[in-house]
Amino acid sequence: MDQVARRKAADGPAAGPVPSGYARVVGCAVAAADALARPARRRGAALEQAIFEAVLDQLTSGGYARLTMEGVAGAARTGKAALYRRWASKVDLVLDTLRSTLPPPTDIPDLGSARSELLLLIDHFGVALESRAGGAVNAVMNELDHDQAQIFKEFLAERVIEPTKAATLSILRRGEDRGDVRPGAANQLVADVAPAMLMYRVKVCGGRLGPGYGTELVDEVLLPMVRCQRRPPAVSTELPPEPDPAGSRPG
């Protein structure tokens, strides 16, 4: 019907007078067709999710420097004013996007061994790293100037590094109680090792841990640092007693 109405509206009136009621019907039909052709404006939670998706798209494809409020608004099909009502600056928008989309840190349950728990912790880190938000974090950290980088470093410490350290300490303390971790291994210096190694991998190796890296990190680095050392069997330094010559003779 909308095509017929558009055609008649474009062709102009037919021979003879056109009733005013008919003209109103044609006008309403054309307006309705135009409204249906335009994408609906998002609102509320749907709009916020669309904005976050647009931010992640721009960060992972073009980086932080190329991200603009205008570009995000266009991709989310909203006005720039709608963004500024929620976020005062691009930094605020990006930080809120990362907080809302980066997989949250989770507690590591008691699996019966420090090795199993450390492997699960590294696996959770890898999942977060390889998410879209993790890729966006990596893109942001690779190109910020010093002042802005400090803001995002604080976010990274709060959301990623400190939870990883806290989970490591919890695992090691459980291991001390079970006896598969040496006493005193649950300390801040040891807890720094896992996030330091993981962040090095992120910064130097393209943002991916790679297959088998978590197992190597646990078995070759973390466990040798914390596991209980088995003592070798004691070796006696005493010489065996001399045989009794008298006792060796037959009676």
pTM of the predicted structure, to 2 decimals: 0.70
What residue spans of the chain are helical by DSSP H?
2-11, 20-37, 44-62, 69-75, 80-86, 90-101, 114-129, 132-141, 146-156, 162-178, 188-204, 213-216, 223-226, 245-248
Q: Which of 1, 71, 70 is nearest to 29 (CA)?
A: 1
Domain that holds residue 63: 44-101
Which pLDDT score, from 0 to 100, does residue 106 have? 82
- The verdict on 19 and 50 lying in the same domain is no
Low-confidence ranges of the chain (pLDDT < 50): 1-2, 4-5, 9, 30, 32-39, 232, 251
**Residue reference for tokens 């466990």:** 223
- 186 plus 97 within the same structural domain: no
3-class secondary structure, 51: helix
Structural domain count of the chain: 3
Q: Are residues 69 and 10 in the same domain?
A: no
Do residues 30 and 54 lie in contact, with contact meaning Cβ atoms separated by under 8 Å? Answer: no
pLDDT of residue 4: 47
